[in-house]
Amino acid sequence: MKIRQRYFIKTKDGLFFAVTDNYHPDTHIISFLRYMPCEEGDRVIDGVRYKKVSSDEAYSFLNKNHPNYLFRWNIENKDSMGVPLEDIVEVLSPVDKLNEIISSHDNDEFYDKIRLLASIFHEKAGIGYDDMGVSGSTLLNLQNPSTSDIDFIIFGLDNHRKAINLYSRLKNDADSPLDKISGKYWKDVYDKRIKDDSMSFDEFIWYESRKNNRGLIGGTLFDISCSRNDSELRDSGAVFSRVVCPMKIHCKIADDRYSYDAPAVYNVSDVQVLEGPCMNIENIVSFTHTYTGIVKNNEWVIASGVCEETTDNDSSKMYNLIVGTTRESINEYVKLDTNPITGEKEY
């Protein structure tokens, strides 16, 4: 089985890792620790309690218990996280999980919402069931129907555009089961996504409302996440990187066609370095869902993150600004250079 981004893998010690890349070294699967057994955990499967872990908890646990899960691969001066092939006991596919849910015909209300979401994208956007899946806690059977979101995956960039364009229309249709986020749900999403003071609550609502990749179905939050299909992948993932330094820039969005990709990529122009050494930044690259699809072509933005030098197979180099070097993205962001709520300049 080809192990793709947004799959999960289970280790021989019962750890669950989210696959974070489509390209892997010969010895490991690039992935991030998301759930681990814990007596105080609030999720249960097969009699074992699990907890969801933060980035700091993941690195701390692996450094102590599985140091071989942290290793140097394609980033010169930073460890990658991944599971050695010999420690993998199960690979969990979002596509297989969705097919299982669709075929089960049970009376589970949470699964009913997933089935309805899939049928809407299939019937109204023309997306095949084999190009859709469900990830996150649902993939692991660790979901809590009263609190869990639906992490719905669309495979293929064009398919994903169809899905978010459909949702942008249906969320304003009183007869549609797909709703806009409102009320208390906004606070839940904000607290989950923003861990510093980089964006106010009102700003967050403004940006999220125009992204059209998150909504409600029957009172349950859902994400419409994107993952490339096989035909859209490069032949090789052999790109080598080097972390340079923290950086903040002011620039114009030149091309947003990959802004919903994973990672999200914004090609930029007219770059002015506000903090850090003067470098020719070509792209803003976001590894966090928070800054996916957040800005559009021809908009002027402020971005804070880490400058990274990448070297491709032909030895050509480029410099990108990376946002989301940790899941919490502390002091790392992309947003308009003018606050959409107050009208004040951000730099």
Largest Cα–Cα separation, the chain: 59
Q: CATH for 237-336, among 3.30.200, 2.60.40, 2.40.50, 1.10.3470?
A: 2.40.50
pLDDT in tens, 204-223: 999 999 999 999 999 999 99
Mean pLDDT, residues 155-181: 97
What whole-number distance in Å separates Cα of residue 102 and Cα of residue 208?
29
The Cβ-side half-sphere exposure at 122, using a 13 Å CA radius, reads 15
Mean pLDDT, residues 138-147: 92
pLDDT at 258 over 60: yes
Which residue's entry shows tokens 């861990």?
Answer: 195
- Tell me the whole-structure pTM to 2 decimals: 0.91
Domain ranges of the chain: 8-91, 94-230, 237-336
pLDDT in tens, 264-319: 999 999 999 999 999 999 999 999 999 999 999 999 999 999 999 998 777 788 99
Mean pLDDT, residues 24-50: 94
In the prediction, which pLDDT does 335 show? 97
Q: Which of 30-39, 243-252, 324-333 has the lowest mean pLDDT?
A: 324-333
Reduced to 3 states, what is the DSSP secondary structure of residue 9? strand
Band of pLDDT at residue 225, cut at 50, 70 and 90 = very high
What whole-number distance in Å separates Cα of residue 161 and Cα of residue 169?
13
What whole-number distance in Å separates Cα of residue 245 and Cα of residue 275?
10
In the chain, % of residues over pLDDT 90: 83
Select from 225, 329, 167 the least CA-distant residue to 321: 329
Q: Which residues pair with 255 in a beta bridge?
A: 267
pLDDT at 238 over 60: no
